Amino acid sequence: SINSPSTTVFTLPPNFLSSAIFLSIAALDEFSTYSFLIFGNGSEALSSESSNVNILGYVDNLNEVMNIGDVYFSPLSIGSGVQNKILEAFQHGLYVIGTPTSFSGIAWLDNLNDKGFISVNINKLSEIKYILKEYFDDQSRFQESLLENQNFIQTRASWGESVKIMEDFVDGSSTR
């Protein structure tokens, strides 16, 4: 069910509805053995009666939440710029399912192993169900690509590496 949304970015009406669609998938019997954590400022406006769904709302420490996950799902319909939680998910070695909006602004996405993430149409429930089922049925075949993406983020797209690139550019010593 849906409570009255607050006025956070998370609960812009299209993003709120996309999240509600995802909750309907998580509540299906075929996913009842998996746990789903919904988090982010404003997510407390969502509700679910499914025992496998836990809505956390705002979390102080993303590491704690992402360290216990396997999949990160970003159901954004509206947004701009780099979605930092997507980068965090890659850094934690999570399989990332997102919408085209979720991945917008990530210039080096072509450098990542495409078996570690997938872009979906939030309105195609059967596609999202299939992708989740495929992942959960055989997570081992995704592990190498998840590790590659995690390594890429940590070595080439970290804050430290980004600052170094900017410093090199400012100093005129950039070779990239």
Alpha-carbon gap, residue 69 to 66, rounded angstroms? 5
Q: How confident is the model at residue 113 (pLDDT cuts 50, 70, 90)?
A: confident
Residue 38's DSSP bridge partners are 55
- Give the pTM: 0.76
Tell me what the pLDDT averaged over the chain comes to. 79
pLDDT at 122 over 80: no
Distances (CA, A) of 155 to 75, 102, 110, 164: 27, 22, 16, 12
What is the mean predicted confidence (pLDDT) over 100-128?
81
What is the mean predicted confidence (pLDDT) over 159-175?
71
- In DSSP notation, 106-154 reads -TTGGGS-GGGEEE--TT-HHHHHHHHHHHHH-GGGGHHHHHHHHHHHH
